[in-house]
Amino acid sequence: MAGRLIAGGRLVTAEGVVDDGWLLVEDGYISALGSGERPRADETVDAGGAWVVPGFVDIHCHGGGGEPFMSTDPARARVAVDTHAKHGTTTLLASLVSRPVEELVNQIAALRELVEDGLLAGVHLEGPFLSAARCGAHDPNILRAPAADAVERLLDAGKGAVRMVTIAPELENSVNAVRQLIDGGSLAAIGHTDATEAQVMPAVDAGATVATHLFNGMRPLHHREPGPIGALLDDERVTVELICDLVHLSPTIVRLAAKHAGLGRTVLVTDAIAAAGVGDGSYDIGGLEVVVKDGVPTLAGGTSLAGSTLTMDVAFRNLVQGCGLSVPEAVAATSTRPAALLGLADATGKLAKGLNADLVLLDAGLHVNSVMRRGSWVG
């Protein structure tokens, strides 16, 4: 048997951890895996006892490597994709911040090239259908209700590339927009909202299935008014995004949310901006100046968080070392569940025969040793 054999690793599979395991890669796919006697291969890579986990799946990322996804230059977007790939992200949604619909149409069209090439799994629109009361790092002057014609223009621009759209459910026509998005092949997410629980539930009943970075950009949880946090976290139909940089959320909150939602409903995201992989400095997000200091982005002149500089390998490590969850639980939150959410469970997100050879080798401290995407080493 030919191919590339990765041997001597701790494989994290759906069935559990396989110590001293091996994995055979042929033609970009996992053709076999197991432990014990190893098959012959053209090349053998000694994993040296490293963790072997599925490639990370990030469904909320605005850029990296100094480049934002909101550029209309596909070459700049490729820099961001490559930056996150070196940190283990093998499947990625490009997130766009709130801009006028015409600008978003042009940005989506530019990113569609990367979707068609397989470098991106799709586009996520975080705005402009958000609440001005919880706008965060979005220009409040651009925010608007999700009118049917605007939603249609954005979906048409993607030609199937728009995979998720975040909406504040208290806005006019939001419930109809949720249905329109689902009919157009997109996930409907709830976020940047000041809604009450009573305003959230009709959108969930209409088919909204994702909570955009739960806790952040939302009316706070209150014991007499659960608001979006309580409603979304407690609803079995909703998958919750958590920004696990330990800045947006404390370890206790991450742990509480992940334990309540469980493996089937928890997804770690980066919400990374162009500064990811670069460092401190001044950046632009949707026309707003953002200052990154000590790795934390905030709106210039204020304290409002403006995305992150997080990469998925750090999020993975934070969940285990900072929040006390297990490596298999971290795999579920960074790979298996987000892949399933995007409808890609038969392609990626697990170490299993027949799936893409998307994988990350992590040392004992959970730092990246190497990354493979569709059978080729990254970097």
Distance between CA 362 and CA 358 in Å, rounded?
13
| Residue 101 φ/ψ, nearest 5 degrees | -55, -40
Tokens of 297: 């982005």
Q: Amino acid identity, residue 26?
A: E
| Active-site hit among 139, 271, 313, 358 | 271
Interatomic CA distance for residues 138 and 237, integer angstroms: 27
E strand or H helix at 339: helix 337-341
Per the listing, tokens 């070196």 go with 86
Q: Are 194 and 188 in contact (CB under 8 A)?
A: no
139 has catalytic annotation:
no
Backbone CA torsion sign across 82, 85, 91, 94 = negative
CB atoms within 10 A of CB 205: 12
Q: How far apart are CA 338 and CA 242, in angstroms?
A: 12
Q: Under a CB-based contact definition with an 8 Å cutoff, are residues 70 and 107 in contact?
A: yes
Contact 309, 325 (CB under 8 A): no
Please list, residue by residue across 83-107, b when 16 or more beta carbons sit within 10 angstroms of its beta carbon and e when fewer do: bbbbbbbbbbbbbbbbbebebbbeb
- CA-wise closest residue to 334 among 121, 165, 90: 90
| Phi, psi dihedral angles at 52 (to 5 degrees) | -115, 110
Is residue 93 a contact partner of residue 120, using CB atoms and an 8 Å limit? yes
- Residue keyed to tokens 């283990």: 88
DSSP 139-159: -TTT-----HHHHHHHHHHHT
Contact assessment for residue 115 and residue 123, using Cβ atoms and an 8 Å cutoff: yes
Give catalytic residues, as residue numbers.
271
